[in-house]
Structure 1
């Protein structure tokens, strides 16, 4: 067995007897300073060890979501009717999708951007085959011309009031006019307004009765509306509850649609109309008219990862629009790219990269409102968005896994005067590069090594300072003794 004396011989830390050592006031001061320095440096090293360290690089986009990019949006248009509000998508590869409805929802809103009812189910506007009768013969006026003062009187006199809101300059209104007047004469012969009283066919010139047309939220011409006595005005802030007709516009189709309206009403003069819900739902040519002139458009679209446009505008293949009456002022509640992040994932993003996430929705809460002068000048509101993907990688020991993907963008907006119908255009340009943020955690062994270096280094430096200070004091004392001798 190894003796105790031989074991002691390998002691690196041989002890000096306490009786041979001498304590000094300067050494005590240095010891206190050294201890405080050790505690401070240890705290700094512990904070560095517990903090998140990342490295950032720029690489070619290698997205796992393929060649498509999701765009989520929630935009309120105080002056654009849900009846014609259309979301269109196009890109530089030639993709052109009009009036997307499958993933887009629309809600009528009041001037305060509050929804006035349930979702507005406009559906796609049918592509008409017959916009009117191709006749050369002379035709007279069969419908009644209504004004702002006579509209209310006639709407309360007849169970059904069918009104053609038109503009004389509109091509589609002029195409409709012969068949409309012929259908009106036919219905007048079958259902005399004085003797029967169940239906009246009328027309309103929106270039003359502008206030009346705005009150009924007319933005496209011609707009055919069906008013039912007794149900056309609810006790709901004066909102009108009626239908819009989108069916064929030849005389026979118009007469058939009007006959269907009359069929649900008993043959008694001035009888209140009773709505036939089954008939409404089964007839795709008639849909509810918008309750207000505002619309909130929300949902998402999937686009290719190439420069393109998302456009919200008034659109119809069978109506004309007066550009001076179209106002695309809007308030953006959300406009984001990529997958929606949960609250837990957003918290993790902030922990790993506090500087990331502040620009993933730069347009949120922004308002773009045009003045009356701008509206008359046909103003299109454009947003130019440059999109960059950020991918965050979290490392745990030797394992590596992807934590999340986030898209950030810069936004530049402007008002552009246009010769055409004003639109709200979002031009997006995805970057072919992506930002890669990788977490780089410190190892525990590195932390222990640094702690030992701190303790040993401070102790050694303090010892050197103490030796220098002690020898300096001894030298000074010797010099003073030499002078006195």
Structure 2
């Protein structure tokens, strides 16, 4: 059995009897300084242990969200009507999707970007409008010619006024003209404006009556509008309440539509036309006309992760546009790539905010305004976007936070064709990986021990040097006295 004396022999910390030790004033001062130093260094080490450092590296994109990328946007066009606004997507692989509507919402807005009603519905996509075959036949003028001087007289004199806003140079206006005039002549014979007056078909030449057409927000030719007596009332913003006709344009269909419009209106009570709500005209051939000339487009599209384009423009398979009158000015409220981080998740991970791209959506809140003039017409506004993915790997809860950042360069380009707003996007094949690094608890304990031991040892050395120096000075002083 090992004796107690043998165990005591391995004691590293042998004790000196208290009556053999001597306290000094210098030792007390060094002890206080050493204790304060230990506390300060311990606090710094604890703060360093609790903080999280990061390391950044650039690696080949290893996206976990598949081959497609989501683009979310909210863009307002003060001078582009929702009636013709189209969102198109294309890429270098040959993908070409036109007039996307499934994930897109459109709202008419006024010049101050304020919405003027409920969501604007464009109706069926891709419908081929039928035209008449009377292009080679002789026909006489059957519709009334309207100007800014007599327009409102006609609109308040007749229960229903159907107007063809056209441009002589427009191909589709030329296709419509013979059918329109023949249908107008038939309707005039059946509903004599002098004796009946319930319906009149008319036309407006927008090259001659530009201000009148702008007042009714005509952007594509021909545009057929249905005005009902009493409903075309201006409100505080000068908006009008009427309908657009999107049906076939042959003579028979036009006549049938006019008959349907006038049928619910009794001859003796045309004053009450507004009160009569029954209208059996098919919804797909007439819908509320845009109340203003602007449109806010919001929603998202999914694109392949290759260079491509997001294009917003005026598009129609049966209308023509005057490029010199098109203005693609816009205000970008929001444009982002990838899946957005949920607010709840973001609030739990505030420490990673400096590393992700919420503050790097370069186009958010910016305006790109083109003022149409003789020297600044046909302007296409292009944005070139370089997109880079950033991933943050957290160590506390082992979550992966990923978001796309982009840089943008914009320009206004003169175009020979119909102006558009174009967003060129190109995704980098590399991604930024930010990794949080947290010190281990054992590293913290080791450093704490090193701090305590190191300060204690250094203080002991200083105390020994100071004490021996003072003793030596005393001996020298005693030697001089003797």
Distance 1:153 1:126 in 2: 37
Distance in 1 between residues matched to 2:35 and 2:151, nearest whole Å: 93
> Using a 3 Å threshold, how does the CA distance of structure 1 residues 374 and 331 change in structure 2: closer, same or farther?
farther
Aligned length: 481
8 Å contact from structure 1 (residues 49, 442) kept in 2: yes
| Equivalent in the alignment of 1:68 | 68
Shift of 1:287: 1.4
Indicate if the aligned counterparts of 2:123 and 2:284 stay in contact, CA closer than 8 A: no
- For the residues of structure 1 that align with 2:167 and 2:216, how far apart are their CA atoms? 15
Report deviation, 1:356.
Answer: 2.6
**Whole-Å separation in 1 of the counterparts to 2:279 and 2:304:** 41
Paired with 2:256 and 2:329, the residues of 1 have a C-alpha distance of 40
Shift of residue 269, structure 1, vs aligned partner: 6.5
Indicate if the aligned counterparts of 2:108 and 2:292 stay in contact, CA closer than 8 A.
yes
Say if 1:327 and 1:375, in contact at 8 Å, map to a contact too. no
Q: Does 1:413 align with 2:414?
A: no
Secondary structure at the aligned position of 1:459 is classed as helix
Q: Does 1:283 align with 2:283?
A: yes
The aligned runs of 1:68-217 (5 Å cut-off) are 68-124=68-124, 126-217=126-217
| Cα contact 2:75–2:334 (8 A) shared by 1 | yes
Equivalents in 2 of 1:279, 1:376: separation in Å?
46
Deviation string 1:376-405 (CA, Å, 9 cap, x unpaired) is: 421111111111111222235xxx844222
In the TM superposition, residue 43 of structure 1 has moved relative to its aligned partner by 1.1
Shift of 1:175: 1.5
Decide whether the 8 Å contact of 1:99 with 1:124 is kept in 2. no
CA displacement, residues 290-347 of structure 1 (integer Å, 9 cap, x when unaligned): 0111111000111100011111111111111111221111111111111121123223
Contact 2:325 2:377 in 1 (8 A): no
Establish whether residue 312 from structure 1 lines up as the match of residue 312 from structure 2: yes
Contact 2:143 2:201 survives alignment (8 Å): yes
1:425 deviation in Å? Answer: 0.8
Residues 1:464 and 2:438 are matched in the alignment: no
Q: Deviations over 1:11-43 (max 9, x none)?
A: 221121222222222222222221121111111
> C-alpha separation between the residues in 2 aligned to 1:287 and 1:165?
16
Determine if contact 1:352/1:439 at 8 Å carries over to the other structure. Answer: no
8 Å CA contact 2:172, 2:222 repeated in 1: yes
Q: Report if the CA contact (8 A) 1:198-1:271 is conserved.
A: no
What is the CA-CA distance between 1:176 and the residue it aligns to? 1.1
Q: Does 1:250 align with 2:250?
A: yes
Decide which moves more: 95-104 or 260-269. 260-269
TM-score by length of 2: 0.94
* 2:391 corresponding residue in structure 1: 391
Counterparts of 1:199-348 in structure 2, within 5 Å, are 199-233=199-233, 235=235, 237-268=237-268, 270-274=270-274, 276=277, 279-280=280-281, 282-348=282-348
**Deviation (angstroms), 1:71:** 0.6
Aligned to 1:442: 439
Cα contact 1:164–1:224 (8 A) shared by 2: yes
Q: CA 1:279/1:401 → structure 2, altered by over 3 Å: closer, same or farther?
A: farther
Larger mean CA deviation between 8-17 and 160-169 belongs to: 8-17
d(CA) in 2 for partners of 1:480 and 1:317? 113
Report SS of the residue matched to 2:267: coil
Q: Offset at 1:5?
A: 4.3
Distance, in Å, in 2 between the alignment partners of 1:339 and 1:39 is 47
Change (3 A) 1:352 1:135: closer
- What is the distance in 2 between the residues matched to 1:31 and 1:361? 56
* 1:50–1:16 distance in 2 versus 1, CA, 3 Å: same
3-state DSSP class of the match of 1:395? coil
- State whether residues 327 and 372 of structure 2, in contact with CA within 8 Å, keep that contact through their aligned partners in structure 1: no
Aligned to 2:31: 31
- Assess, with a 3 A threshold, how the Cα gap between structure 1 residues 475 and 353 changes in structure 2: closer, same or farther: farther
Task: Name the residue aligned to 2:427.
Answer: 430
Task: Specify every segment of 5 or more residues in structure 2 that has no aligned partner in the other structure, as ranges.
Answer: none
RMSD, matched Cα = 2.1
Call closer, same or farther: CA 1:126–1:358 in 2, change over 3 Å.
Answer: closer
Secondary structure, aligned partner of 2:273 = coil
Structure 1 gap ranges (5+)? none
Question: Residues 71 and 300 of structure 1 are in contact (CA less than 8 Å); yes or no, is this contact kept in structure 2?
Answer: yes
